[in-house]
Amino acid sequence: MDTKKVLVAMSGGIDSSVTAMLLQEQGYDVLGVTFVSWLAPDKNIEEATDVVDAKILAEKLSIPHYVLDLREDFKNTVIKNFIDNYLAGITPNPCVFCNPIIKWQRLLEKADELNCELLATGHYAQIREEKNRFILSKGVDENKDQSYFLWKLKQEQLKKTIFPLGKYKKEEIRELAKKFGFEYLAQKKESQEICFIADDDYRAFIKNNVKNIEKKIGSGNFISTDGKILGKHKGHPFYTIGQRKGLDIAIGHPLYVLNINAEKNTITLGKKEDLLKHELFINEINLIKYKTLPEDIELNTKIRYRTKAVLSKLSKTNNTVKITFNNDVSAITPGQSAVFYENDDLVGGGIIIKK
């Protein structure tokens, strides 16, 4: 039997490194690639931490290593989308946007160029083939499962993808790194949530990347649910639905951001219970488990990565899908992803829209 060639996306971290080790142990012909999507202006691509760490590991494993410079592409797509969304009063999820159009598309192109049949990443998720469809399901480790971020992947992308870590828990991966003789990997810090946002401070990023934002947008009014002016805010892009801290308003009880109106530069504030809603609408729908969405199906829907899924009914309405929850959910945020599951299988997802 021919040895299968697999291209492993390597960041130098423990997950992608153990992915390469596992596949090598299983007899695959492993090649490594590190893609650079974002880098401080004063750094050379060859000095990027991910590149250096991955190159060192590839040498130790005696596998070829390649570097892909995707900075321009990333800037013109992911970062542009990120900024445009915030300026439009929408809260984006850049990882969801990046995965199909940058990460998978560009890595699969590189895999084809290198005659690799498969692409492997260190995501905690699983893929199986069933009834001529490639089905994405949760990773065994509930705390690390990353399927939520992958709902936009297409069938042709899933077909060529493997997730060797999906059946492991994080602690087992640490132990495997030690077993393979790379104990230092088990001590490495986890990577930050959004690769291009230092210290998770998206407000500073927007200020630094939108010229004269204070003049372009500037201060606006905080208003109550009945339209009364409650005070001044610093500009609508600097707030998100559900936010409580940093409002600098005292009226005797906590206030939360309920709505962002970019056109009027107003932000509606209210009580915590005002955030509760029982339905939402999504567009940009991508289905994974089924070719078409079964009529009035009941599924478990997550409206953000770190929340529990809630049982809900899905129904098609023209180009959108309406999701009605059995129990109210809090802080539904336009621009974020609603991802729906059948048990552990990811059925599909969509982008929450304003209604």
Assign residue 114 the CATH number of its domain: 3.40.50.620
Task: Check whether residue 236 and residue 283 sit in a common domain.
Answer: no
124, 141: one domain: yes
Binning pLDDT at 50, 70 and 90, where does residue 319 land?
confident
Share of the chain above pLDDT 90, in %: 82
Most trustworthy range by pLDDT among 40-54, 160-174, 205-219: 160-174
Question: CB under 8 Å to 111, separation ≥6 — which residues?
Answer: 7, 117, 118, 119, 160
Number of domains in the chain: 3
175 and 93 assigned to the same domain: yes
Mean pLDDT of the residues in the chain: 93
Residue 259, H or E segment: strand 256-261
CATH of the domain at 255: 2.30.30.280
> Which domain does 258 fall in, by range?
216-270
Q: Coil, strand, or helix at residue 153?
A: coil
Return phi, psi of residue 94, to 5°. Answer: -65, -30
Evaluate whether residue 27 is within a structural domain: yes
Please say if 116 is a catalytic residue. Answer: no
Same domain, yes or no, for 279 and 265?
Answer: no
Residues 149, 255: one domain? no
Q: State residue 348's pLDDT score.
A: 97
Q: What does the DSSP 8-state code read for residue 235?
A: -
Q: Which residue has the tokens 């800037």?
A: 75
| pLDDT computed for residue 80 by the predictor | 96
**Which residues are paired to 229 by β-bridges?**
223
In this structure, the answer to whether residues 41 and 181 fall within a common structural domain is yes
Is 95 designated active site?
no
Q: What are the Cα distances from residue 32, in Å, to 48, 53, 90?
A: 16, 12, 36
Residue found under tokens 């993808």: 161
pLDDT of 9 reads: 97
Average pLDDT over residues 54-75: 95
Prediction pTM value: 0.93
| Residue 162 pLDDT grade (very low, low, confident, very high; cuts 50, 70, 90) | very high
Q: Is residue 82 part of a domain?
A: yes
Catalytic residue among 14, 54, 98, 262: 98
Q: Are strands 125-130 and 29-36 parallel, antiparallel or unpaired?
A: unpaired
Residues 6+ apart with CB under 8 A from 191: 11, 13
Q: Do 38 and 160 lie in a common domain?
A: yes
Catalytic residue among 195, 276, 310, 353: 195
